[in-house]
Amino acid sequence: MPLRVANAAISAGRSIHIFGIRGVTDPGIEKFPHSWINFGHIGKVLSVSKTANCREMVIVGGVRRPRLSELRIDFGALVNLPSLLGWLAGGDNSVLTGIIGFFESKGFRVVGAHEIAPELIAGKGVFSKRRPGKTDRRDIAIGLEVLAALGSLDVGQATVVAHQYVLAVEAAEGTDKMLQRCKELNKRGRIGRRKRSGVLVKCAKPGQERRIDLPTVGPETVRHASAAGLAGIAIAANDVLIVDRERFVKSANDAGLFIVGVEMSDGKQV
């Protein structure tokens, strides 16, 4: 995802500088102007950004929350230590909102990845050869209701529903780990007797900070959903990013899964 956003920015005539977190970021960023940083290198980000005349910031790509032992505090981080420690408390949305607020206080305009690369946003409608059936549509509606109810608690961005039964809700482990749990449930016959049943439903949380943490799906999502025995994937239209759309759809077609973009209001149809 960061590489696709970088290419989109350059295609739009923007100059860029990428900060990659060691041990997390794809080494492919080295094709672009870049700097490697560790967790806690706030001073380096600020000083290099000033030198490179960066006025806007896009925060993109998956990253786990660091442990205190992993922080490498530089002088810039030390000066802002109260804010830095505050980031580590609370749910994901509160953490990310705090990060945005910090960098905005330093003069940056924080921009969403979808603003730089709008082609990454999922639209509405069926993307795959297979279409969701009546049972699937009911499961999708229930999934949307569940996520709308839990979103205010900053719990997760995804759930799995099969035959109107909620099998799993994403928490701190992420979507892929949640789908691995569903794979174990499928082995015990909890998903259904059909060859494939159940739907992964993924959407942004109500009130979520969309500039930094829009849900993301891609070929790996399809792989895990297929391994779990699900019938398909439903994603919120205009609220989910798709990594490598062509491979994403092809993977679903090859596996016999459906992919559909839905409106959040569809959950009210239950």
Does one domain contain both 42 and 174? no
Exposure string for 1-34, b = 16+ CB within 10 A, e = fewer: bbbbbbebbeeeeeebbbbbeeeebeeebeebeb
Model pLDDT, residue 264: 76
Model confidence at 180: pLDDT above 60: yes
* Distance (Å, whole) CA 33 – CA 54: 12
Tally of structural domains, the chain: 2
Decide which of 86 and 126 is more confident: 126
* Distance (Å, whole) CA 247 – CA 47: 38
Strand-pair partners of 200: 160, 233
Does one domain contain both 130 and 77? no
Model pLDDT, residue 9: 94
Does one domain contain both 101 and 207? no
Does one domain contain both 88 and 138? no
C-alpha distances out from residue 189 to 194, 230, 257, Å: 10, 12, 19
C-alpha distances out from residue 38 to 21, 42, 74, Å: 5, 9, 10
Model confidence at 266: pLDDT above 70: no
Tell me which residue range forms the domain holding 64. 2-116
Asked whether the whole model's pTM tops 0.85, one would answer no
Does one domain contain both 133 and 258? yes
Last residue of a domain, one of 116, 136, 162: 116
Q: What is the pLDDT of residues 91-150, one digit of tens each?
A: 666 677 778 888 898 899 999 999 999 999 999 999 999 999 999 999 999 999 999 888
Q: What is the pLDDT of residues 133-167, one digit of tens each?
A: 999 999 999 999 999 888 777 777 899 999 999 99
| 242, containing H or E segment | strand 241-242
Q: What is the pLDDT of residues 219-259, one digit of tens each?
A: 999 999 999 999 999 999 998 999 889 999 999 999 999 99
Q: What is the pLDDT of residues 43-60, one digit of tens each?
A: 899 999 999 999 999 988
Mean pLDDT of 161-184: 88
